Chain A
Amino acid sequence: MTALKLLQVLVLRSLRQERLLSLLSVLGVALGIALFVGVKLSSDRALGSFESDIRGPNPSVTHEITSASGIDFDEAVYRHVRMLEEKSLPVIRAGGLVKGRGETIEILGLDIIRTLRYVQATEGTPGDLEAVLRQPAGVIVPASLAKRLSLGKNDTITVSLYDRDYDLTVVSVTDAPSVPSGTAVMDIGNFQEHFGRQGVLTRIDLPTDPATANLIENSLPDSLVIRQKEEAVRNQEALIASFRQNLHFISLMAILVGMFLLYNTVFISIVKRRTEIGILRSLGAGKGTVLSLFALQGLLLGLAGSLLGIALGQLSATLSVAAVQKTVTSMYSRVFIGTPFITLHDALKALLLGLSVSCAASLIPAREASRLSPNESSREGSFEMRYRRHLIAVSCLGSLLILAGAAISYVEYLKTPFTFPYLAHSGILLIILGFTLLSPAYLLAVMKAVRRPVIHLFGAIGRISLGEMQGSLYRFSIALMSVAVSCALIVALLTLIYSFRHSLQRWINSTILADVYIKPASCVSNYCFQPLSEEVASLVEKAPEVAGVDRYRVLNLDISGTKVITAFGDAALTRRLAGKAFVEARKEERLREVEEGKAVAVSLYLAARLGLSRGDTVELPTPSGRQAFTVSDTFVSYSTTSGFLYLDRRWLREYWGLDDATQLTVYLKEGQDPAAFIGRLRTGELRGYSLQIMNNRELRQMILGIFDRSFAITYAIEIIATVVSLIGVVSILIALTLEKRREMSILRYLGGSWRQIEQKVLLSAGLAGAAGTLLGLVMGLMMSLIFVRVVNRVSFGWEVDFQIPGLPLGLTLLAVFLTTVVVAVIPAKAVRRFDPTRYISRE
C-alpha cells in the first residue's frame, strides 16, 4: 500500500504534471515499436506464405522430390517412386495472373482423389469430387481468394498462364486451412491436359520415413533431388532472411531514436525535480527508492508507448503489406501475404522489446539521480557539473567505440565470416554509441568555435544562449543527438539508395540493350520459368522488322540446396547485334568465352559463396547428369540475390534437350520503330496470346520501378525516424524552456523584451540543430559506407559503388535543420505566457 501511495504521489502525479513531455515520449516509443511490428508482421507472413506453398495441402508430407536441373521432370519417375513409397503424391504447379485484377495466383495440380480430404470444404459433399474431376477447367479456390476476387461456385475466372489466357470454373470454395490463400487446386490430369503439360511433374510429395527416403534417393537420376520439407522451407526462408533482417535493423534504428526521447524525458524530469530528490533523501529515502521512482517513470511511459505502438503496428502492417508483397514477389518468388493480424505472441514480443528499451533508456539517468547527495541536489548547476568531471574519460571511450565499430565493419568487409552482416550492424551501433558519448565534448568544441560570431551577431542574447548551453551541456547534447541520429539515418539511407540506383542504372545500361522484350503476362517476378510456346517464338522471329531474336531461357537450378537462376542466351547473336552498345569493358570478352568454350559466367555473389574464381570448374545438374563447366568470368548482377549463371544456349539443347524460351530478346533492324512493331504484334500475330511486350525504355522503367518499390519501406522508416527525432527536439526544448522560466523572468526584470527571449530560445535550438545536423552528416556517411560496401554485399551479394548524392543530401539536411528551428517556435512562443513575477520570488 505504501509503495502504491508513493507511486501515485511521486510518479503518476509527475507524469500528469508533465503531460506534454510524457505524451511526446509515449508517441516516440510508439512510432518505433509500430514500425518494428509492421515490418515483422509483413515479413513473417511472407515466410508463412512460402512455407504453406512448399508444404502443400497435405500436412502428412515429410519429403519432396524436385528437379535440380530446373525444369519439370518426366512423370515416369513417379511410377518408380510409388513402388518404393505407395503414399507418394504427384504435383504439378504453375504461376498465373488473374486478368483484370493484377493478382498473382498459383494453380496446383494434385491427385484429387487422394488429397480431397485436405482441400475439401468442411461442408463439402461427394459431388465436389465429381465436379472437380468432370470439369476440365474446374478449380477449388480457398474462401479468402474467393472473397478477394468476389467469386462463388460456378463462377469463371480468367487467368494468364504460360503465354495464354485460360478460363477456369470455380467448382468449390473451400475453408480448408491447408490450402494457401493465393492457390487454386485442380485435378492433376485436368491440369496436364488443359495446359498442355502432359507427361511432366513439378514435384513428388512423400509422407515417408528417413530410411525409405534414403532408398529412394539412391535410385533417383542425378537430375532429381529428394529433400525433407523442413529443409526446403529453411532454404526458402534463407532467401529472404537478409531482406527481413535488414528491414528489422533499420526499424530498430527508429526504436533507438525513440529511446533517446525517453532518456531525454527522464533526464529532464530528474533535473527539474532535483530539489525534490534532495528532500526525499533528507527524509530518509534510500538510493534504491530514488532509482526505482525514475526507472518506473520511464517504464510506465515505455509501457504506454509499447501498447500504443502495437496498435499502430497493426495499422502499419496493413499499410506496408502491399510493398513487402511486391518486393518479395519481384526479387524472390511469388508470395501472397494477405492482411497480417498481430498474434498474442507477436504482441508480447513487441511489448518485451518496448519495455527493454524503456528500461535501458531510463535506468541510466535514474541511477545518476540515486547517486545525488541532498546538498548537491539543491545547488543549481551541480547536476551538470558531475558529468563535466567525467567529460574527458567519456569522450575517450566514445572515440574508442567509434574506432571499434569501424574496425569490425572492416573485418566483415575483408573476411565475410557470416552469411548475415552481424559485425557490420554491430559496428553501426557502436559508432552511434561512440558519437553519443562524444557529443558533449563535440558541442563544447562547436560553441567555442562559434562563440565570437554568435556574440557579434546576437549580442547579449548570444552570450546568454551560449552560457545556457554550456551550463546545460548534457541536456543540449541529448537534443543534438536526437537531431544527429535522425540526420544520420537520412544520410545513410539516401546515400545507400543513391549509390544503388547509380550502380543499377549502370548495370541497366550494360545489360538492357535490345529493342523489345517479350515474356508471358503471368510473369510478375524478375525471372519466370514457364516457357513461351514455340508459335510465339517463331512468329516473332519471322517478323520482317526483326534483325535477330535471342531465345532467352531461364532455369532455377538446385546447386547444393540453393536455387540459382541460370540463364541461357545466344552469346554470338548478342555480340553481333548489341556489341556496339556494350558499356562494360569485359562484356564482349565474356560473351565470346561463353560462346566458344564449355564455359559459364558466374555472378560475384555466387562466386564468393561457392569459392569460385576464373578457371575453376563448377558442376551443374542437368537431366543428362551432372556436367562440368569452366568459370570464364565473374560479373555484377542486381536482378537476383541468390546468384546468377549465364551459359550459351547450345548447352540447353545438348544437356536439357530444350530449345524454348522464357523470354524473347528482340533486336530490330536499323531504322525500325519499336513502338510500331509492338503495336503490330499486339493487334496482329500475337493477338490471341497473353504476353508482356515492352520496349527498351519500358523495361528500364519497370526495373527502376521495382527498385523504388523495394525501398518504399525504407523511405517510410526514414520519415518515421525523422518525426520521432523532431518530437525529441521539441520535447527537450519545451522542457528546457520550462526549466528556464526563472532566468527568463530575470531577463524581463532587467529589461529584456519578449522578442529577445524568443530569439534566445530559437538561437539555442538553431545551434543545437546545426551542430546535430553536422554530426549526423559525419555519422551518416560512415554508416552509409558500411551499408553500401559491407551490408549490401554480405546480405544480397551486390557490389555497389559508393556515391554521395550531394545536392539532394544538402537540401534534405537543410530541411531538417530548418524544421528543427521551426519546431523551436513552439516553446519560443510559449514563453510569452509566463508571468515573470511568479518566478522571481521563489527559491
Chain B
Amino acid sequence: MILLDDVRKSYGNAAVLRGIDLEVSGGEFLSIMGSSGSGKSTLLNLVGGMDRPDSGAIRVDGQDLTALSDEPLTLYRRRKVGFIFQFFNLLPNITVFENVEMPLLLNGSNDTARVMECLSHVGLRDKIRSYPHELSGGQQQRVAVARALVHDPPLILADEPTGSLDTTSGDAIMSLIASLCRERGRTVLLVTHDISIARRADRVLKIRDGRILP
C-alpha cells in the first residue's frame, strides 16, 4: 500500500529524514518508535501529503504523492487519509457531531447515519450536542478517532494518539484503533515513543536520527 523510496527531508540545515526506505502492506498496523526529534512526525506528514520530501518517492496505492500539486494532494488527504493527533485538534466552536461530520462535509456529502454510527462505535452517541471544551481528554480523543474514520479512509495516520491521555484512556484508545483497523482492513501508521503502545501493532520499526534502524 505504502512505499517510501530513499525519502529525504531537511528543514534549513537540519536533516530530519536521511534516506527512508519503507514498505507497508495494505491492512497492516505499523508502529514507528523514536525519541523526540527523530523524524517520526515528519514521516507521517509526508505520507499524509501535508509536506513534501526534498528527494525520494512516496507511493500510496500506486500513486506518486511527490508528483501531485496542492489540489490533488488535498483531495488525496480528504478521501484516503484519516489523521489522529496527540492533542486531539478538534474544532472548538462546533459540536461533537459537527466535528465528526466535517470530513464528509468537505467531501460534499451529508450522511447523518454514518456520523451516528461512528460516534456509536466510540461510545459517544449521547454527546453529539456537546462542545469539545465540555469533554474530558479521553472523550475528545474518541471524537477525533470517530472523525478520522467517518469517511472510511483506507489509511489512518496517528501521531502519539495517547500522548495526552492517562493510561486507562490510552489503553481504550489503542484498543479502539486496533479493532477498527482489523475490522475494515485499514492500514494504520502510528508513531509513538512508548514501547507499550508500539507493541500493540503488527510490526514495530525504530527510527533514529532520520533513519530506520534495521
Q: Give A residues with C-beta under 8 Å from B.
A: 379-382, 459-460, 463-464, 467-468, 470-472, 742-743, 745-754, 756, 836-837, 840-843
Residues of B within 8 A of A463 (CB): 94, 98, 105
Task: List 7 contacting pairs A-B, 8 Å CB cutoff, sorted by A.
Answer: A463-B105, A470-B93, A743-B92, A747-B91, A749-B50, A749-B83, A841-B159
A379-B133, A840-B89 given as contacts; is B83 within 8 A of A750 (CB)?
A: yes
Q: Which residue of A lies closest to B98 (CB)?
A: A463
Smallest CB–CB gap between A68 and chain B, Å? 73
Partner of A752, one of B74, B93, B98, B147: B74
Q: Which chain B residue has the least Cβ–Cβ distance from A471? A: B93
Given known pairs A463-B98, A836-B50, the reply for A381 and B78 (CB within 8 Å) is no
| Chain B 113-142 interface residues, beta-carbon cutoff 8 Å to A | 131, 133
Q: What residue in chain B is nearest A462 (Cβ atoms)? A: B105
**Interface residues of chain A: helix, strand, loop or mixed (majority):** helix
Known: A463-B105, A464-B94. A381 touches B133 (CB 8 A): yes
Q: Interface extent on B, as a size class?
A: 35 or more
Contacts of A842 in B (CB 8 A): 87
- Having A382-B133, A463-B94, A751-B75, one finds 6 other A-B pairs with CB under 8 Å, namely A460-B106, A467-B91, A746-B90, A749-B77, A750-B106, A841-B87
In the complex formed, the residue of A with least CB distance to B103 is: A750
Contact B89 A749, beta carbon cutoff 8 Å: yes
Task: Please tell me if B154 contacts chain A, counting CB pairs below 8 Å.
Answer: no
Query: Known contacts A467-B93, A471-B93; is A751 also within 8 Å of B133 by CB?
Result: no
Expressed in whole angstroms, the Cα–Cα distance for A381 and B106 within the complex equals 24
In the bound complex, residues from chain B placing their C-beta under 8 Å from that of A743 are: 91-93
User: Complex Cα distance A187/B103, Å?
Assistant: 93
Q: Are A754 and B70 in contact (CB under 8 A)?
A: yes
Whether A471 and B89, one on each chain, are in contact in the complex, defined by CB atoms closer than 8 angstroms, is: no
B183: chain A residues at CB < 8 Å are none
A746 pairs with B89, CB closer than 8 A: yes
CB distance from A372 to the nearest CB of B (A): 15
User: Contacts of B147 on A, CB cut-off 8 Å?
Assistant: 750
Distance from A821 Cβ to chain B, minimum over Cβ atoms (Å): 22
Residues of A within 8 A of B98 (CB): 463, 467
A751 and B159 within 8 A (CB): no
Contact B105 A459 (CB under 8 A): yes
Query: How distant is B47 from chain A, measured CB to nearest CB, in Å?
Result: 13
Answer whether residue B48 sits at the interface, using C-beta atoms and an 8 A cutoff.
yes
Q: How many A-B residue pairs have CB under 8 A?
A: 86
What's the least CB distance linking A541 to chain B, in Å? 82
Q: Which residues of chain B have C-beta atoms less than 8 A from A381's C-beta?
A: 92-93, 131, 133
- Tell me which residues from 67 to 94 in chain B have a Cβ below 8 Å from any Cβ of chain A: 70-71, 74-75, 77-79, 81, 83, 85-87, 89-94
Cβ-defined partner of A841 (8 Å) among B41, B81, B90: B41
**B97-114 CB contact bits vs A (8 Å, 1 = yes)?**
010001101111000000
Residues of B with Cβ closer than 8 Å to A? 41, 45, 48, 50-51, 70-71, 74-75, 77-79, 81, 83, 85-87, 89-94, 98, 102-103, 105-108, 131, 133, 147, 159, 164
Q: How far is the CA of A470 from the CA of B91 in the complex (A)?
A: 13
Q: Is B79 in contact with A751, judged by CB distance below 8 angstroms?
A: yes
Most buried by B among A468, A471, A472, A840: A840
Output the least CB separation between B59 and chain A (Å). 20
Partner of B103, one of A379, A470, A751, A753: A751
Q: For residue A843, which residues in chain B have a CB less than 8 angstroms away from its CB?
A: 87, 164
A471 to B134, CA, bound (A): 14
B12 to chain A, nearest CB (A): 13
**Most chain B beta-carbon contacts within 10 A, residue among A379, A382, A751:** A751
In the assembled complex, how far is the CB of residue A514 from the closest CB belonging to chain B, in whole angstroms? Answer: 70
- B106 partner residues in chain A, CB cutoff 8 A: 460, 747, 750-752, 756
The complex places the Cα of A747 from the Cα of B131 at a distance, in Å, of 17
Q: Which residues on B sit within 8 Å (CB–CB) of A836?
A: 50
A contact residues around B90 at 8 Å (CB):
746
Enumerate chain A residues within 8 angstroms of B86, measured Cβ to Cβ: 841
- Is A464 in contact with B91, judged by CB distance below 8 angstroms? yes
Chain B neighbourhood of A747, CB < 8 A: 91, 102, 106
Measured in the bound complex, the distance between the Cα atoms of B163 and A505 in whole Å is 77
Instruction: Please determine whether B78 and A841 come into contact, CB atoms closer than 8 angstroms.
Output: no
Looking at the complex, which one of B78, B91, B105, B164 makes contact with A746 (CB distance below 8 Å)? B91
Residue of A nearest to B134 (CB): A381
User: B133 touching A468 by the CB < 8 A rule?
Assistant: no
Nearest-neighbour CB distance to chain A for B58, whole angstroms, equals 16
Question: CB-CB < 8 A to B131: which residues of A?
Answer: 381
Q: Complex formed: what's the CA distance from A488 to B139 in Å? A: 47
CB of A468 to closest CB in B, whole Å:
5
Please report the C-alpha to C-alpha distance between residue A382 and residue B132 in the assembled complex, in whole angstroms. Answer: 12
Q: Are the C-beta atoms of A748 and B50 separated by less than 8 Å?
A: yes
Residues of chain B within 8 A (CB-CB) of A379 are 133
Closest chain B residue, CB of each to CB of A382:
B133
Q: Which residues of the other chain, A, contact B51 by a CB distance below 8 angstroms?
A: 837
Interchain CB contact under 8 A, A750 and B102? yes
Choice from A460, A745, A754, A841 contacting B102 with Cβ under 8 Å:
A460
Nearest Cβ in chain A — how far from B133, in angstroms?
5
Q: How far is the CB of B96 from the nearest CB of chain A, in Å?
A: 12
Interfacial chain A residues near B71, Cβ < 8 Å = 753
Given contacts A467-B94, A756-B106, A837-B45, contact A751 B78 (CB under 8 A): yes
